Amino acid sequence: MSTKVPAIRSQALERGVDLERFPAHVGVIMDGNGRWATGRGLQRLLGHREGYRTLRRVLLAASELGVRYLTVYAFSAENWRRPEDEVRGLLSLIEQAARDELRIMHQNNVRVQVAGRTDELPEGLRAALEHGIKTTAKNTGITFTLAINYGGRAEIVDAIQGIVREGIPASEITEELLSQRMYNPETPDPDLIVRTAGEMRWSNFLIWQAAYAELFVTEKPWPDFGGDDLIEAVLSYQVRTRKFGGV
């Protein structure tokens, strides 16, 4: 598959996107892989495989458009409840993708990081992720965060437990302090959350950080999502007035 990114900035300008008001951080709930596959008479895992091909295209398109941070929901803490064969296959696929896509991400100046309880992941997968983080640590382009074995509530629990272990008194606990104890505190809160496959749920994704994020939902399953859909999401974002509780 070609890794060449199309002239998506020109496409965005033609459709009226203001490249000076682009969301700095976009989060994506990549939903619908399994349904995409079963609708075509394929095994669900093939849908996830196609979904990771889509992820490469969207990541490079987002980088070309000027997104500074892209966080994707790859495997939730609740996904362990799925059939064992599917979980094993999905984690193996993520490990393979982490290894196979590293060269392309490094060539495109992508910085890789993860979010989640990675200590609970299989050893081979942890090693692949750690290698990607180390290899791309000095890259200065888009920061790509893979949320894996991730849950928003679990992240908040982990943050609070860390504060308790440090012996910080209750009177000193603030929103700012809690934000600093999240998995990647240097990453700004998301401006825009994109969800595919038409589901109108937050699904425990970045629930602390996304308190004021704009939400864009498309009926398309994730494997059918592309650069033009990302442009549509940004256009939707740019016509909204973000008040953050104000008037």
The angle that helices 44-65 and 227-238 make with each other, rounded to 10 degrees, is: 60
- Which two three-digit tokens encode residue 232? 């549509």
User: In this structure, are residues 134 and 102 in contact, taking their beta carbons and an 8 Å threshold?
Assistant: no
139 is catalytic: no
Q: Which helix (H) or strand (E) holds 220?
A: none
Q: Which regions of 35-85 does DSSP assign to beta strands (E)?
A: 69-76
State the Rg of the chain over Cα: 18
The CA–CA distances, whole Å, from 160 to 163, 172, 177, 196 equal 5, 13, 10, 31
* CA atoms of 22 and 190, how far apart (whole Å): 12
Annotated catalytic residue within 33, 79, 119, 149: 79
Q: Which of 3, 47, 56, 63 is nearest to 223 (CA)?
A: 47
Rounded to an integer, what distance in angstroms lies between the CA atom of residue 193 and that of residue 237?
A: 10
Residue 79 appears among annotated catalytic residues: yes
- Give burial (CB, 10 Å; 0-12/13-18/19+) of 184: middle
CA atoms of 128 and 203, how far apart (whole Å): 26
Active site residues: 31, 79
